[in-house]
């Protein structure tokens, strides 16, 4: 089953969470980031397992830790087989607005609960 969410958020100069995903099995999906403002958007995926601290999912300059220039969009695919939680951190010098569309693949038993909201 695919679960899709689309939303918009103001982004400031201080790094903050765009969204957090809780793991119910492997985290597999795609994310489209659209920078609607006039300033460059910085983003990075971070993972957390158990009580450990958040760590970057990849190094700077890779698909999971990069930028989106003003007026552009970027589509990212992700697979995290074992992280308990995944979050996307964002910031923009001078601020910006980001629109995002997330599609997450989820296994669900016939007649099972819909995994739309998870407590993080």
The residue segments making up the domain with residue 25 are 2-100
pTM score, two decimals?
A: 0.85
> Strands, E, within the chain: which ranges?
2-11, 16-22, 27-35, 41-48, 55-56, 65-68, 73-80, 85-91, 96-105
- C-beta of residue 31 within 8 angstroms of C-beta of residue 102: yes
DSSP code for 113: P
Which among 18-22, 33-37, 100-104, 113-117 has the top mean pLDDT?
A: 33-37
Whether 17 shows a pLDDT value over 90: the answer reads yes
Whether 118 shows a pLDDT value over 60: the answer reads no
With a pLDDT cut of 90, the percent of the chain lying above it is 59
The mean pLDDT value for 114-118 works out to 57
Q: Identify the pLDDT of residue 115.
A: 62
Q: What CATH number is attached to the domain comprising 66?
A: 2.60.120.380
Q: How many domains are contained in the chain? A: 1
Query: Beta-carbon neighbour count of residue 61 at 10 Å?
Result: 8
């Amino acid at each position: 089953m695919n679960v899709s969410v689309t939303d918009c958020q103001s982004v400031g100069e201080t790094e903050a969470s765009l969204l957090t995903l809780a793991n119910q099995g492997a985290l597999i999906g795609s994310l489209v980031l659209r920078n609607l403002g006039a300033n460059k958007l910085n983003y990075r995926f971070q993972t957390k397992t158990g009580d450990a601290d958040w760590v970057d999912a990849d190094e700077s300059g890779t698909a999971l830790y990069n930028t989106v220039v003003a007026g552009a969009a970027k589509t990212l695919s992700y697979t995290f087989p074992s992280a308990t939680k995944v979050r996307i951190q964002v910031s923009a010098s001078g601020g910006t607005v980001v629109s995002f569309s997330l599609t997450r693949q989820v296994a669900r038993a016939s007649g099972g609960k819909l995994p739309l909201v998870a407590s993080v």
